A = this chain, B = another copy of it.
Amino acid sequence: MLSRFTDSINEKQLFEPHQKVLLAVSGGIDSMVLLNLFEKSGLNYGVVHCNFQLRGEDSDKDEQFVREAVLQHGVPAFFQTFETEEHARLNGVSIEMAARELRYEYFEEIRIKNQYDFIATAHHQDDLLETFFLNLSRKTGIRGLTGIKEKSGNLIRPLLFASRREIEDFARANFIEFREDYTNSEVVYQRNFIRHKILPLFQKMNPAFKKNLLASMEHLKETEEVYSFSMNRWQKNVVSTIDGNIEIQISALLNLPFPKILLYEILIRYNFNPKVTGQVFQSIENESGKQFYSPTHRLVKDREKLFVIELPKEEKRIYYIEKDDIELFEPFDLAIEKNENRNFEISRNPNVACLDFDQLDFPLLIRRWKQGDYFQPLGMSGFKKLSDFFIDEKLPLHEKENTWLLCSGQQIVWVMGHRIDNRFKITPQTRQVLKIEIREY
- A interface with B by C-beta (< 8 Å): 136-142, 144-145, 190, 193-194, 197-198, 201-202, 205-209, 211-213, 215-216, 219-220, 222-227, 229-231, 257-258, 261, 324, 326-327
Q: Which residues of B contact A258 (CB under 8 A)?
A: 222, 225-226, 229
State the majority secondary structure of interface residues on A. helix
A192 smallest CB distance to B (angstroms): 10
Identify which of B136, B201, B215, B326 contacts A139 (C-beta below 8 A): B215
Identify which of B138, B193, B194, B229 contacts A212 (C-beta below 8 A): B138
Identify which of B136, B142, B193, B327 contacts A223 (C-beta below 8 A): B142
Q: Which residues of B contact A227 (CB under 8 A)?
A: 223, 226-227, 230
Q: Which residues of B contact A213 (CB under 8 A)?
A: 136-137
A13 smallest CB distance to B (angstroms): 16
- B226-A230 in contact (CB<8A): yes
Q: Which residues of B contact A326 (CB under 8 A)?
A: 207-208, 211
Name 17 extra pairs, CB < 8 A, besides A139-B215, A197-B201: A136-B216, A139-B212, A141-B216, A141-B223, A142-B142, A142-B220, A145-B216, A198-B202, A201-B201, A211-B324, A223-B223, A223-B224, A223-B227, A226-B231, A226-B258, A229-B230, A229-B257
A394 smallest CB distance to B (angstroms): 37
In the bound assembly, the distance between CA atoms of A222 and B274 in angstroms comes to 13
Q: Which residues of B contact A198 (CB under 8 A)?
A: 198, 201-202, 205
Closest to A234 in B: B226
Knowing A205-B190, A207-B326, A211-B324, say if A222 contacts B137 (CB, 8 Å). no
Q: Which residues of B contact A140 (CB under 8 A)?
A: 212, 216, 219
In the bound assembly, the distance between CA atoms of A231 and B215 in angstroms comes to 21
Closest to A337 in B: B207
A98 smallest CB distance to B (angstroms): 23
Q: Can you report 20 A-B residue pairs in the complex whose CB atoms are below 8 A from each other?
A: A136-B212, A137-B209, A139-B216, A140-B216, A140-B219, A141-B216, A141-B220, A142-B142, A144-B216, A145-B145, A193-B205, A194-B205, A201-B201, A208-B326, A223-B223, A223-B261, A226-B230, A226-B258, A226-B261, A229-B257
A5 smallest CB distance to B (angstroms): 20
Q: Which residues of B contact A225 (CB under 8 A)?
A: 258, 261
In the bound assembly, the distance between CA atoms of A190 and B202 in angstroms comes to 10
A326 smallest CB distance to B (angstroms): 5
A166 smallest CB distance to B (angstroms): 16
Q: Which residues of B contact A207 (CB under 8 A)?
A: 326-327
Q: Which residues of B contact A142 (CB under 8 A)?
A: 142, 219-220, 223
In the bound assembly, the distance between CA atoms of A122 and B206 in angstroms comes to 27
In the bound assembly, the distance between CA atoms of A33 and B209 in angstroms comes to 35
A437 smallest CB distance to B (angstroms): 13
In the bound assembly, the distance between CA atoms of A207 and B137 in angstroms comes to 9
- Residue from A145, A201, A223, A324 with most neighbouring chain B CB atoms (10 Å): A223
In the bound assembly, the distance between CA atoms of A219 and B201 in angstroms comes to 26
- A212-B137 in contact (CB<8A): yes
- A206-B261 in contact (CB<8A): no
Q: Which residues of B contact A141 (CB under 8 A)?
A: 216, 219-220, 223
Q: Which residues of B contact A216 (CB under 8 A)?
A: 136, 139-141, 144-145
In the bound assembly, the distance between CA atoms of A206 and B190 in angstroms comes to 9
Q: Which residues of B contact A261 (CB under 8 A)?
A: 222-223, 225-226
A435 smallest CB distance to B (angstroms): 14
Closest to A138 in B: B212
In the bound assembly, the distance between CA atoms of A193 and B205 in angstroms comes to 7
Closest to A146 in B: B142
Closest to A206 in B: B137
Q: Which residues of B contact A202 (CB under 8 A)?
A: 137, 198
In the bound assembly, the distance between CA atoms of A222 and B141 in angstroms comes to 9
Closest to A205 in B: B193
In the bound assembly, the distance between CA atoms of A229 and B259 in angstroms comes to 13
